[in-house]
A and B are shown apart, each in its own frame.
Chain A
Amino acid sequence: MGETPHRSADAGTGGTRVTEGHPWPAGASARVAEAPVSTRTPGGPGLGGGAALPTARRFGAERAFRGLTLAAGGFVLVVIAAIAVFLIAKAVPALQANTESFWTFEGWFPNDAQPKFGIGALAFGTVLTATLALLVAVPIALGIALYLSHYAPRRVGTSLGFLIDLLAAVPSVVFGLWGREIFLNPVRDFSTWLNTYFGWIPIFGGDGPFGRSILLGSLVLAIMVLPIVTSLSREVFLQTPTANEEAALALGATRWEMIRTAVLPYGRPGILAAVMLGLGRALGETIALAMTLGITFNISFNLIESGGNSIAANIANTFGEANETGRGALIASGLVLFAITLIVNITARAIIYRRREFTESAA
């Protein structure tokens, strides 16, 4: 190898590049072609055959397994369809018996002789508490997740991550009790303070009483969705390719700049998914809200006055004494909740899908 070798020598897969009419001696490519032959077991057909090809088995494990998976997939569809049919069948008579508008009436009296009930206030409370909870929880959760994935020493990160996950294991009724009995007091004091100094902003206005309000419910919800959003986004951040992180660092980025350049843009769809899962939990949360909200049936943006309600909390609170129409009305409200979550999920997926081929600047 004294002289500078020919360029073809660095072609690892040189054989595939060889086409007719190329100017080099055929020796190199011929050797490539020979290589696999020499590695074959000498004498007798190996697993690779040698005899005539056998026919495929008609009924084997392959087919059985295929049928099994098909049945499992079909079963899910059947269950979903059955649930939907059942819910709609129960809801429609109640909706027909309703003497007020289901969409605009603010109140819930489905058990009366003249049933009156409306979903507006409940749906509004559901969306408002969930949105507020996410506004509070997501920035904190992302901060914790970034700390755990990129700043904390490994041992601290692991134990802190474990603690966060532990928070997710607390039953929601415990959160509800805690919010109602203990957390209520600081939130009430805070609400009074807000009302005194920021009462001119409508959301902090009103004359009280304060306490079991949208604010308390949302804060309890925020604590409940925090672990989900944190641990999911931590996983996403940890999956950022090292190559991209190093590329940013090698360009002279500080750690925060590296996170902004490589980690956050890469994790954006994952963060969105985490937020959506958190939103799903917040929208569907039942008992904690039933215990911490003031349970009223009006649409109001006031966050600190006692009041507020949500679809799920209303179901939990009123199912016990509901009659036939009452149960139908609750099921109808459940269908609305389902529709809200569905819309939220579809929107999230649409956003992720639209961004799958990013062209936007991230820095």
Chain B
Amino acid sequence: MAKRIDAANVTAYYGAFKAIENINITVEPKTVTALIGPSGCGKSTFLRSINRMHEVLPGARVEGSLTIDGQDIYHRDVDVTAVRRTIGMVFQRPNPFPTMSIFENVVAGLRLNGVKKKSILDEAAEKALRSANLWDEVKDRLGKPGAGLSGGQQQRLCIARTIAVEPQVVLMDEPCSALDPISTLAIEDLMFQLKDKFTIIIVTHNMQQAARVSDRTAFFSIEKTGDPGRLIEYDNTQKIFSNPSQKKTEDYITGRFG
């Protein structure tokens, strides 16, 4: 259920602005990889290029090669919706569909794929909610609006919605930045469990979080505003946080950045 991601010389643009340049990363299956770095260094841009969400913005485009188990994500014949089903995404702010119930939110992706049978939907919803550690909290109010949950519950609902379609890879773009510490803890615990099944790539501003949850860490940085973001160092998380090989990485993680 998990696949390997290979990025080679990935460069992404917003119109004329080059946001990231020549990123090379290999992400192994069933691992958690953290992308860290200062604001504007292109972590999120890179993350969004992995499931082709980058190109949703007007004028945005990606160059270079991104493959999932050897298959080119950006190939002309590849169906972009299939890419996004294979590589799911959790966003920075919890974004449940406001007009839908908790249940409908979870099965939204399945419905998009044409699943209509109630029994299959019920089963998938319970499985996804259990995986997201949300089942016990919401099982008695599945028909209530998803937007009525607390922020942390909403984010777990969004995770349930993402994993309900059984993707291979789950991308998380600062999933805890809008949450309080207790909800953050719940999501981090969840990540530990999810990596048995999925390849997880997480963008975070929080270095402690990166250190806690990830197996591998990639540090991105920019020279100055307007320059494209580059990958500075990519290694085992323990190595990055204890003995980084680059001076810039060390400066950043010890707070001596800039």
Which residues of A line the B interface, CB within 8 A?
1-2, 4-5, 7-11, 17, 154, 241, 243-244, 246-254, 257, 261-262, 265-266, 268, 357-363
Contacts and interface: CB of A to CB of B under 8 A. Distances in A.
A273 to B, nearest CB: 16
A9 B208 contact: yes
Contacts of B97: 244, 247-248, 261-262, 265-266, 362
Nearest to A251: B109
A358 to B, nearest CB: 5
Given A1-B255, A361-B104, A250 B112 contact: no
Contacts, number: 115
Interface string B98-134: 1111001000110111000000000000000000000
Interface in B67-119: 81-82, 84-85, 88-89, 91, 93, 95-101, 104, 108-109, 111-113
A247 B158 contact: yes
Contacts of B14: none
Interface residues of B, number: 48
Contacts of A248: 97, 108, 112
Nearest to B111: A363
B181 A7 contact: yes
Contact of B112 (A5, A253, A266, A357): A253
B58 interface: yes
Given A251-B85, A359-B145, 5 more contacts: A11-B180, A244-B95, A244-B98, A262-B97, A362-B100
A359 B143 contact: yes
Contacts of A5: 208, 211
Nearest to B182: A17
Nearest to A257: B112
A267 B239 CA distance: 50
Contact of B99 (A10, A154, A246, A268): A268
Contacts of B184: 10
Contact of B108 (A17, A251, A359): A251
B233 to A, nearest CB: 16
Given A10-B181, A10-B184, A249 B208 contact: no
Interface string B140-153: 00011100100000
A252 B91 contact: no
A60 B97 CA distance: 47
A10 B208 contact: yes
B95 A241 contact: yes
A252 B165 contact: yes
Given A1-B241, A246-B91, A359-B144, A251 B254 contact: no
A2 B240 CA distance: 10
Contacts of B225: none
A1 B253 contact: yes
Given A1-B255, A265-B99, A252 B109 contact: yes
Nearest to B92: A243
A250 B254 contact: no
The 9 A-B pairs at the shortest CB distance, nearest first, are namely A252-B85, A243-B95, A265-B99, A251-B109, A250-B89, A252-B81, A363-B111, A252-B84, A11-B181
